[in-house]
Amino acid sequence: MSLLRSWVAAANAADTDFPLNNLPYGVFSDATRGPRCGVAIGDRILDMAALEAAGLLRLGDMPLFAEPGWNTLMAQGPAVWGALRTQLIALLAEGAAERVAVEPHLVPMAGAQLHLPFRVTGYTDFYASRQHAFNVGTMFRGAENALPPNWLHIPIGYNGRASSVVVSGTDVRRPWGQVKGPEDAAPRFAPSARFDIELELGAIVGTGSSDPLTVAEADAMIFGYVLLNDWSARDIQAWEYQPLGPFQGKATATTISPWIVTAAALEPFRAHGPAREKPLLPYLDEPGPMLYDIDLEVGLTPEGGAESVISRTSYREMYYSAAQQLAHHSTAGCRMDVGDLLGTGTISGPDKGSFGSLLELSWGGKEPLTLADGAQRSFVEDGDTLILRGQCRGDGYRIGFGDCSGTVIPAFEDPYRRS
């Protein structure tokens, strides 16, 4: 597909994340009004509440943008999602008759504050990149036993904390927790010294279900995607994870990008993933390519310093797609709700420069990486800003997610005596 040209001039620039082909959904506020739904187009945000109030959108009998979140719209289902996208493209396309009526409802992106784009009703994180699972397993169990026996048969996941999901730009405070190193005779309570990131994609469930889903049904339920950084305290996790898996080591924060890139915008970039090493059970069969060709990268900027890109990889590296993860999640009768968020797990490619966590990039701290200014990192230090980026590249345009960023601030001096 080629670039769809818009009367919003900035949307036609080759270097914008937000051409007319994209139209991602977010929530913003500015000096004039509080948080409300918006659509990114070039360097502007289209105010959806104002557009609806002016009668320029026709999607049904009830208001869909009265609250600052996309949950109400999501709950209407794929037919309404498609109708909205069709109307938005028509309103913003080059030569649109409605330009004069629509233009007053565009807000400069530069002066806007972005908020969580939807109400997160549940959060599940998976462990679905083969290279990441192999890397981590090799560090702790050796290459011959790197993958657990179930890994090539099942998307492994755990239920996380929806309350810990924050929008890009939110500071992340270094957590305290129980840790026990090899030199410790007993556990101690201390700030995490091995704080890390995880480069992930998040899938947003747009319609609910109460029955087991096929992969095709699950795929149709996914409203869109965000970049996702599942901050991880590796030392807390290492002490607590047996026998029940991640808990406090993963509970500090999960940062997501502020714009929901819809499944419809990603459709031209469908892609197959790696070859299967073992056949999957029939309920996980894929009806076609379930991944997307999304280029991903991680930048690390020390406080007062310059950014270093420390990882470049692709969503095509996933062994299990978001649709397979959602289908598997539903098998035991788990109800899926509008606004559920599914994290892919760390996305790592085959080479060291494509690993999606500092745990892998520094190989457990044994091989620190060198930044552009000569500083070294094994794990995230206070003052570091981590930025995730993602793009699909089309013919004369790109589909971007916007930055997914967070800055680590120091742990409380004493978490029980805060001023």
The CA distance from 298 to 314, in Å, is 11
Q: What residue ranges define each of the domains in the chain, with the CATH number in brackets? A: 9-115 (2.30.30.230), 122-409 (3.90.850.10)
Distance of CA 412 to the CA centre of its chain: 28
Binding residue positions for Ca(2+): 125, 198, 200, 230
Q: Residue 418 has what pLDDT?
A: 63
Beta bridge partners, 108, equal: 44
Of 286, 341, 406, 299, residue with least CA distance to 125: 341
Question: Three-state SS for 78?
Answer: helix
Q: What are the contacts of 64-69 at 24+ separation with CB within 8 A?
A: 65/36, 65/37, 68/27, 68/34, 68/35, 68/36, 68/37, 68/115, 69/27, 69/37, 69/116, 69/117, 69/118, 69/119
Q: What is the pLDDT along the chain (419 residues), one digit of tens a residue?
A: 899 999 999 999 999 999 999 999 999 999 999 999 999 999 999 999 999 999 999 898 889 999 999 999 999 999 999 999 999 999 999 999 999 999 999 999 999 999 999 999 999 999 999 999 999 999 989 999 999 999 999 999 999 999 999 999 999 999 999 999 999 999 999 999 999 999 999 999 999 999 999 999 999 999 999 999 999 999 999 999 999 999 999 999 999 999 999 999 999 999 999 999 999 999 999 999 999 999 999 999 999 999 999 999 999 999 999 999 999 999 999 999 999 999 999 999 999 999 999 999 999 999 999 999 999 999 999 999 999 999 999 999 999 999 999 999 999 999 887 65
Cα torsion 33, 35, 40, 42: sign: positive
The CA distance from 64 to 76, in Å, is 9
The CA distance from 259 to 8, in Å, is 19
The CA distance from 10 to 309, in Å, is 26
Q: Residue 58 has what pLDDT?
A: 87
Q: Residue 417 has what pLDDT?
A: 79
Q: Residue 225 has what pLDDT?
A: 98
The amino acid occupying position 124 is T
Active-site residue flag, 105: no
The CA distance from 397 to 11, in Å, is 9
Contact 178, 126 (CB under 8 A): no
Catalytic residue among 105, 115, 132, 329: 132
Binding residue positions: 125, 127, 141, 198, 200, 230, 237, 241, 250, 254, 346
Match 């996309």 to its residue by tokens. Answer: 70
By CB atoms closer than 10 A (0-12, 13-18, 19+), residue 75 is middle
* Rounded alpha-carbon distances, angstroms, from residue 357 to 247, 320, 361, 386: 18, 19, 6, 11
